[in-house]
Amino acid sequence: MKIALIVAMDEAGGIGIEDRLPWRLSADLKRFKRLTMGHHLVLGRRTYQTIGKPLSGREMLILSRNPHFLAPGCQVVASLQQAIQIALEHGESVLWIAGGAEIYRIALPLADSIYLTRVQTKTPVDTYFLDIDESDWIVQSTQSLQSDPDNEYATTFSVMEKAPK
């Protein structure tokens, strides 16, 4: 099973403000849905709470230290290892990691790929993605989009695979 991080960040590495995305990008949301549909998706509790509901067509695994946290329609797990085990038991081909920052931090060492949206702006943020050593990753593909009425900022979609050691 492949473990893939999926993240959108601005030019300074910002990924969120006040537990929400700092932009609205239709193309990025459509890409997220297309890539994660039919798969297991791991979110931290706070990231899940900003969404507020299960995303249709995906098995959502909510990572929380609180053993009493409930997320109707989702499965709450106590560790990333538990989420990985559940996905493996269900024959998953790709386990998607969708944040937040703490979840990305613990998942990065296990990740096989990063699906990155670079938003070409600097926005006010209070949460940042990880500093990654780019020599550890090989860019497999990129696609650039200009801003338009549905996409506030120009973006670049990249797929990066972990470099062989």
Residues contacting residue 3 through CB under 8 Å, at least 6 positions apart: 84, 94, 95, 97, 107, 110, 111, 112, 113
Tokens for 145, please give them.
């989009």
pLDDT in tens, 6-40: 999 999 999 999 988 999 899 999 999 999 999 99
Residues contacting residue 40 through CB under 8 Å, at least 6 positions apart: 58, 59, 60, 61, 83, 86, 87, 90, 92, 95, 96
- The pLDDT assigned to 134 comes to 84
Q: Judge contact between 154 and 44, C-beta under 8 A.
A: no
- The pLDDT assigned to 53 comes to 96
Higher-scoring residue by pLDDT: 41, 131: 41
pLDDT in tens, 62-116: 999 999 999 999 999 999 999 999 999 999 999 999 999 999 999 999 999 999 9
Could you tell me which residues are beta bridge partners of residue 25? 151
Q: Which domains does the chain have, with CATH numbers?
A: 2-162 (3.40.430.10)
- The pLDDT assigned to 35 comes to 98
Q: Judge contact between 75 and 60, C-beta under 8 A.
A: yes
pLDDT in tens, 31-45: 999 999 999 999 999
